[in-house]
Structure 1
Amino acid sequence: IARGTPGFTGADLANLVNEAALLAAKLGKKVVTKSDMEEAKDKVMMGTERRSMVLTDEHKKLTAYHEAGHAIVAVKTPGNDPVHKITIIPRGMALGLTMLLPEGDQLGFKKSELIAKMAMAFGGREAERLIFGDDDITTGASADIKMASSIARRMVTEYGMSDEVGAVSLSDGDQNIFLGEQIIQKSTISEKMANLIDTEVRELINKAGKHAAKVLAENMDLLHRTADALLEHETLDGEDFQLLVDGKEIVREEDAPVASVVSRGSVPSSGTSSGTTNELA
């Protein structure tokens, strides 16, 4: 539990147990099991399952390849966090999710780690392109593109990670002039510099997309097996996915109790979320 909840406070963990206790009680259980704890953690970190939402076989297949693409690029690109869970069950506003969780508290990121995160973000879109073709890629990668673009722009304008732009801060976020009810953004960046920033950002994004495509092209068998496993099981945890990466079959173990006392107390509606969530909206 501790390894899967980096950044959680003691109160967050207590709320997580309370959520698991409620789930167990709803199912008429006398003990809290591992599956209850996992479901409670997923509910807090990824949102509530929407099993009432009916997806066509086509949408399920597309979602499975999209999420498989994220996971494979993540595991095959050094600098990414371990894959915690992959699911094609709709949660919140997403049709599917791939969650990565750090193994400990993160105090900062290396340039290589940020590039790896961008590549992982493009894994879903590139998987769609490889399997279904350029004309059938979907809008599902919009959140992924937004995340990668944000990382790239910050690398260039805030983190000094562009050789062409240099180690300067070019963020205008705090330079607003208030005039009545209007807000005018005052830019201190020249047109030439703005064009250079856009060029550098686009280069980083294109590099990430090409890397994702290369990784997936080199692991097509794993892509197909992961998508097939998602279509069969709907949700894979990190151990399930690692078995596929190692060329093995997924074996599901029976649910085992992890606590004999049902916790009491209020049940939270939300908790501290940690990790990377990629949505196919």
Structure 2
Amino acid sequence: RYYMIILIVIMALNFIVFPMFQQSKLETTNYSDFLNKIEEKKIDTVQIENHNIYYTLKKNSTDKTYKTGVMNDSDLVNRLDKSGAKFGQVYQEQMNPILSSLISFFLPLIIFWAFGSWMFKRMQKKMGGDDQMSFSQGSGFGLGNLGKSNAKVYVGEQTGKTFKDVAGQEEAKENLQEIVDFLNNPAKYKEIGAKMPKGALLVGPPGTGKTLLAKAVAGEAGVPFFSISGSEFVEMFVGRGAAKVRDLFKQAREKAPCIVFIDEIDTIGKKRDGAGMNGNDEREQTLNQLLAEMDGFDGSKGVVLLAATNRPDSLDPALTRPGRFDRRIPVELPDLAGREAILKLHAKDIKCSNNIDFNVIARASAGASGAELANIINEGALLAVRDH
């Protein structure tokens, strides 16, 4: 609408207003009137062209330009000179039509377009719109973007993680290897008629590497990886969380094969108890939409849903039934060998003494998670800097 209004205004200015303005200052007269003005010595400035003569009058309050045709009059210049008329530029002839249209039509259009784009982007930033989304995708100065998914999208290699970057979780990696194989070689599963689980739930205490494992699966398979936290679905506007779920699955279908990872799924996947506003609160609407989307997409298309939680007992049974998150992968605290492997993995990028015995540290840190073991290495490095 904005560009259409500008187009109409420019056309009106070019073809109606400007020509009327020019014509109002130009009056056509006959040649005899022109000669009379010469005799009366009233001509101020004159411009003689091939076919027309343009002139102005002395002491003319209207500032008009007069026009008459050229006649076969050989003594005209002398008479004008004797009358005291000045020869000069009185009327600017129209330039080349193509050049004129470029300057008067397209140049203002480009200026208005650039100004409009800049204004829209400025409004969008102020109203909380996303820079990566065009204004047309969300009407209402960015408010339409509330229904857009906030998922971060990585190409498989961009996650920067593979199974080599995960230590101490050999059983979990073995279970996830099947998903990687399915994403890389779906034909052999289709041949026998087997269907891959639509969703896999990574369950374990905080800091055991659930998010890291999900990124490693995407890195191993080399497929796009959608990462979003469960809390990002919860909005102050009712229905916006459900809209984000719809948008997330729409993007996933377009980029299949891919992996969708929902971290802290217990935020939206808690058991429905009907306590919030007659059982129709925002969180339940979001969960209902998630359940409907999981039923609606075909796992054979190569969209694998991964989710992580450290509170599996709080999840709604409808979410963990077969056909949804039907595979449960435990990501437990590492054992002795796992702790030693994790310590060595995190020590690779740290300048360490050659006489460190990681087995001793692993024995002394029983019950520590991967995140805590990584923190032990980092704290050691900080202490080394502190002690010079």
TM beyond 0.5 = no
Greater relative CO, 1 or 2 (CA 8 Å, sep 6+):
1
Normalised to the residue count of structure 2, the TM-score between the two structures is 0.20
